[in-house]
Chains A and B, each alone.
Chain A
Amino acid sequence: MKAFSIKTKVLFVLVCSLTLGAIIQIGLVRDSYEQNVAMVAESALTSAQRTFDSLKARQLSSLALASSALANVDAVRDLFQKGDRDALYAYLTPLFNDLKSREIPVVTFMDRDATVFLRLHVPKNFGDSLEAVTTVRKTMQTKEVSAGFDLTKLGFSAGSCRPIRDREGSVIGYVVIGGFLDQFVATMKSQTSDDYILMGYKSFVDEQMYRNARKAKGQPDTWDQFASILVFGKTREAQGTNQYEKDLQNVPAEGRVLGSVTVNDRTFVRGVFPLQDATGTAIGGIFVEHDITSLYKGMQRVQNLAIVVLIVLTVLLSAAITVVLNKLVFARLKRTMNIVTRVVGGEFSQKIVATSADEVGRLEELFEQFRTIFVGLVDEMTKQQAEDDDKS
């Protein structure tokens, strides 16, 4: 049986206890970090959503205002009712130029069946139907103004659609005023400092129109970047390939925290919230990336510090306990053992003096009593032996 000294056992228990303590401490630090990350992620997501809602409300409000102004101008109504496309275009061109300078680049007039009558931004393109656009469809159904985001054949757009009524109040057509969302995420970043990626489903977009539009704007063709989604706006490059599509599936209205990711020594916490059109149909989402590098490094610092403290503490405590145990127990036991050995070896005059009244001291006393009895017995046996020798 292999025997370990008490000193070894005590030091082993000490190291185990300190290691366990350190593991618990590191676990608590990590748990606290995870909680902080979750809190920061929730906060970043909420902040992004609020910013988005605020910008959306502002944009839709200005679009609604512009559409109202256009639909209620008598001259516009009369020219539209007459079907005089050129005159209407000529009349509205100065106003349209002003709207374009305010980032409202889309003004479209439609007949009652949503067939395009005039696009101020592309006057030569008309005659196609916009009935598939949700905001338009909603206005056609309700005969009221509606506004919202749409994923059209070209990409994301914000639009306000309003019926145009004749002087008797009958609907004679519709006007849509809108803008694209490409720069939306850049505006959000300027307000929150977080990064955003605006993505939408390919199924709503016309591939050829999308490719042509990208080419016309001098932007890279990213149609094939993902299988079922497209990037419509971003403040940083999308990482990975399949993750975004999975993340976009069944996103609740309040959004979803997606955990943290480390890219190029920077740690981010990610989240996504859905984009819905005027009817509440999911058409894509905005991914939020909040930089938590400093938080992560802080956690790592604490973790490393805990390990260093553990090592230093182990060394110091081991040394201290060794010294104390040596002085209080082992040195005194060794001294007693030496005396007992010497007494057995014939040095009967050696006495064991109790050095303290503690447990070891009581053991020393006991050994001294034992030594006295032992020496008496040896003395007696020696005398007896001498007598026996004399007799023989």
Chain B
Amino acid sequence: MGVLFNLKTKVDKCIDEKKLDAAAVRGKIALQTGFILSLITPTSADDPVKIEKLRKAAESILQTKF
């Protein structure tokens, strides 16, 4: 438990560091993955499919390795 949430936290942090438009970038990631980042909590299940989708979408949009 917590891998998905940790990944989501890293993505949020990267967005902040790069000073990007958070809502727009998170929206693009959500549209690509098919789920909303806001709904990922520390208790969210670590669905490997979701984790892979998020990682791929974040790397593609933020051009950063996760």
List residues 10-65 of chain B with CB under 8 A from any CB of chain A. 22-31, 36-39, 41, 43
Partner of A341, one of B31, B37, B38, B43: B31
Chain A interface mostly:
helix
Residue of B with least CB distance to A340: B27
The interface residues of chain A lying within 8 Å CB-to-CB of B26 are 344-346
The interface stretch among A51-59, A219-227, A290-298, A378-386 is: A378-386
The interface residues of chain B lying within 8 Å CB-to-CB of A343 are 27
Partner of A345, one of B27, B39, B41, B43: B27
A350 to B23, CA, bound (A): 10
The interface residues of chain A lying within 8 Å CB-to-CB of B43 are 385, 388-389, 392
A338 interface contact, C-beta 8 A: yes
A347 interface contact, C-beta 8 A: yes
The interface residues of chain A lying within 8 Å CB-to-CB of B37 are 345-346
- Contact A341–B36 (Cβ < 8 Å): no
A342 interface contact, C-beta 8 A: yes
Cβ proximity bits A357-383 to B, threshold 8 Å, 1 near / 0 not:
000000000000000000000100110
Partner of B24, one of A341, A385, A388: A341
The interface residues of chain A lying within 8 Å CB-to-CB of B31 are 341, 344
The interface residues of chain A lying within 8 Å CB-to-CB of B41 are 385, 389
Residue of B with least CB distance to A386: B41
Partner of A381, one of B22, B23, B28, B39: B39
- Contact B23–A347 (Cβ < 8 Å): yes
The interface residues of chain A lying within 8 Å CB-to-CB of B38 are 346, 378, 382
A residues with a Cβ closer than 8 A to B are 338, 340-347, 350, 378, 381-382, 385, 388-389, 392
| 18 residue pairs A–B, Cβ–Cβ below 8 Å | A340-B27, A341-B23, A341-B24, A341-B27, A342-B24, A342-B27, A344-B26, A344-B27, A345-B22, A345-B27, A346-B23, A346-B26, A346-B27, A347-B27, A385-B41, A385-B43, A389-B41, A389-B43
B residues with a Cβ closer than 8 A to A are 22-31, 36-39, 41, 43
Given A344-B27, A346-B22, A382-B38, 12 additional A-B pairs, CB 8 A: A338-B24, A342-B23, A343-B27, A344-B31, A345-B22, A345-B23, A346-B23, A346-B27, A346-B36, A350-B23, A385-B39, A392-B43
8 closest A-B pairs by CB? A345-B27, A341-B27, A345-B26, A347-B23, A342-B23, A345-B23, A344-B27, A344-B30
